[in-house]
Structure formats: structure tokens, C-alpha cells
Amino acid sequence: MGPGDLEQILQGLPYDDVPELLTSVRDGEDAGVYLLSERLAIVQTVDFFPPIVDDPATFGRIAAANALSDIYAMGGRPLTAMNLVAWPCGLDLGVLEEILRGGREKVREAGAVIVGGHSIEDDEIKYGMSVTGVVDPERMTAISGARPGDMLVLTKPLGTGILATALKAGLVGEADMNEAIDSMCALNGPAADALSRVGVSACTDVTGFGLVGHLYSMVRAGAVATDIWASEVPLFERTIDMAALGMVPELRFKESEGFGSVEVAAPRTDPLVVDTLFDPQTSGGLLAAVAPGDAEALIGELRAGPCPRAAVIGKITDGLEVRVRILDRRRD
Ligand code: CO
Ligand code: CO
């Protein structure tokens, strides 16, 4: 059984359909949105994973930023968080304190509070959070609204899966991947604010299924298709060097049924760059579909502010058989 099969079991569960449930995993979302009153819905999400960097406080920051991200992807505001800890018996608890300190720092930066948590003994360290936020249902940024002609905006570069694999193998040190570490620690909140000021058709965040996998979920949910312009996609420094040394992790989306509707039509693009488009990201950027007239101003605002390497990386189209087409370069 692969990770794709695991995911399908969760997605295939019989979910109770109540009118208050505005959106959920059923619609391809990573967060559930439940209506409380006319102008108020709660947004809930959870995520946790083993360490991907050596420094414990940095791991805590990354895990928290990653868990908060699905609230931002929905256009929501995080309010409360609960720590989730798996800890090997006998391991130095000072390390755990550092992880929790890093996590708390990010939750405070987000303007939210930690209200509790749960811990178990386990063979391997794991840390993350469940997060609850609120959103005005009228301003919710669902994954499903992309329209043909929309531009695709990505707020952070790709390559954290490849770089984390290289770090584990000892081929890079944390000092060699500062850009990626800073990016994983960065909250998607300021970027989400910029997106909501402009108003976007659809939004999600890029995590375990990589750019192509999450884009596939977006276009399937919206019954549209998309072109990705490989030369426009920002990558972290050293990503391609490390991919060339064989540091590409398991590309989960390539094992899923969605891969059948992806076409690679990029003969001039390095196949390692194509692989990076599938690289599973931790605390990746927001991916939004934006009306073409709004894209340039939005990119300007993002680059001048929280996301110096934000880019327009493709375009929503109306194809149906091929959902995601990867091209060499921009083609409007
Ligand atoms: Co998630
Ligand atoms: Co997500």
C-alpha cells in the first residue's frame, strides 16, 4: 500500500452531508469549513510529520507554519491551535521544549493561541498541530473557482522535498539551504492578505502532492484545465544540483490516478526541473487562480512584500481530457 492509497481511503470515507458543511476533503480541500451563522464559519485543519531539519526550534516553526497554512489557503484567520507530539521514550525532553518553543513562536506571530495538545510515545519524533480558524463564508477562497483565462500565481519557490532529502543524506547542510528554510518558516498569512485584497477565483497551498498534484486538485474541482510554464516556476537554490545527485524523494502524485491526465510537452526543459514540479513540499506557498487583469499588480505587491519570488507560472484553460499540461515556456 502506497501513500496514494492511504489518501484514497480517507477521501473515500462516507462523509455526512449536512448543510452547514460548506466544504471539506470531499471537495478536494485540506480544511473543513463549517457554517456557524450567516457571516461566520469555522475552518479546521491538522498536519504533523517527522523532523525535516536538524535544529529543533526550526522544525517547530516549520511544522506550525505548515499546519496554519490550510487556514490561510481558505482565506481564514487562525484563532486556536493544539500541539500534536509523538516522542521516543528516553529522548532528551529539552529537545521537545525547543520544538514547542518554535511552534509557539509561529502561532503567536499568526495572532492565534495554543490551547492544548496531545502526546504519545512513539519510535520516531513527530510534531504538528490542529488549527481552528474563522472565515466569512462570502470571502472564503475555495479550491474550486478557477476560470479559463485566469493566471496562476505561486507565492513560494519549489524544492523543499529534494533539499530535505539531501540534508538527510548529508549532501547539504542547513546553512546551504537558508532560502528554503526561511521560506518553510514563513507564514502564508501576509500572502493570503494580498490575495484577498485583490480577490482570487481559487486558492490552495502546495504541500505533499507537489505543485502538479495540488494544481490537479484545483482544476478538477473547477472542471477546468491548466498549462504550467516550466521556465517561469521559481526553484530554491541547489534544488537541481541535488536532484541531479539522485535526491528526488518519492513523488506521491505520480502514483495517483490523477497522473493519467498530466501531459508533459516540454522537450527543452531539463527532466529534473519537471520532477521538481512534482516534488512534495513542506510549508509550501499559496497557489491561486487570479483574473488576468489583476495578476501583474498582485505579483508586484507580493514581490515588494512577503514573497520576493512570487511568480505567474501558468494559465487556466478549458481542456478536459488533459487536466495539466507542462510546457517549456510562457504561452499566452
Ligand atoms: Co494539510
Ligand atoms: Co493544503
CATH superfamily assigned to domain 151-327: PurM-like C-terminal domain (3.90.650.10)
98: left (phi over 0), alpha (psi -120 to 50) or beta: alpha
Contact 116, 107 (CB under 8 A): no
Give distance in angstroms: CA of 230 to centre of ligand 2: 22
Grid cell digits, residue 268: 527543452
274 C-alpha vs ligand 2 centroid, how far in Å? Answer: 21
311-317/225-229 β-pairing:
antiparallel
Q: What is the pTM of this model?
A: 0.95
Judged by its nearest atom, the ligand closest to the C-alpha of residue 204 is: 2
How confident is the model at residue 105, as a pLDDT? 98
CA of 70 to the centre of ligand 1 (A): 6
* Domain at 31-139, CATH class: alpha beta
The predicted-structure confidence for 299-328, as pLDDT tens digits, reads as follows 999 999 999 999 999 999 997 788 999 999
CA of residue 283 to ligand 2 center, whole Å: 9
C-alpha distances in Å from residue 92, one per residue of 56, 88, 120, 130, 195:
12, 9, 15, 24, 42
CA of 244 to the centre of ligand 2 (A): 28
- Each residue's pLDDT tens digit, 190-213: 999 999 999 999 999 999 999 999
CA 72–ligand 1 middle distance (angstroms): 11
| Separation of alpha carbons 70 and 260, rounded Å | 26
What pLDDT digit, counting tens, does each position of 249-266 carry? 999 898 888 899 999 999
Q: What is the pLDDT of residues 113-127, one digit of tens each?
A: 999 999 999 999 999
Ligand 2 centroid distance, CA of 39 (Å)? 23
Distance (Å) from CA 141 to ligand 2 centroid: 12
Q: What is the mean pLDDT of residues 164-169?
A: 97
What's the start-to-end Cα distance of the chain, in Å? 41
- What is the distance in A from the centroid of ligand 1 to the CA of 102? 19
Q: Where are the alpha helices (DSSP H) in 169-313?
A: 178-185, 189-198, 210-221, 239-244, 271-276, 292-304
CA–CA gap between residue 200 and residue 322 (Å, rounded): 24
CA of 99 to the centre of ligand 2 (A): 22
Angle between helices 189-198 and 292-304 (to 10 degrees): 150
Q: What is the CA radius of gyration of the chain?
A: 19
Residue 3 — pLDDT band, cuts 50, 70, 90?
A: low
Cα of 301 from ligand 2 centre, angstroms: 23
Q: In what order do the strands lie in the sheet with 286-290?
A: 202-205, 286-290, 151-154, 311-317, 225-229, 324-327, 262-265
What is the domain partition of the chain in residue ranges? 31-139, 151-327
Over range 73-78, report the average pLDDT. 98
d(CA 231, CA 266) in angstroms, rounded, equals: 10
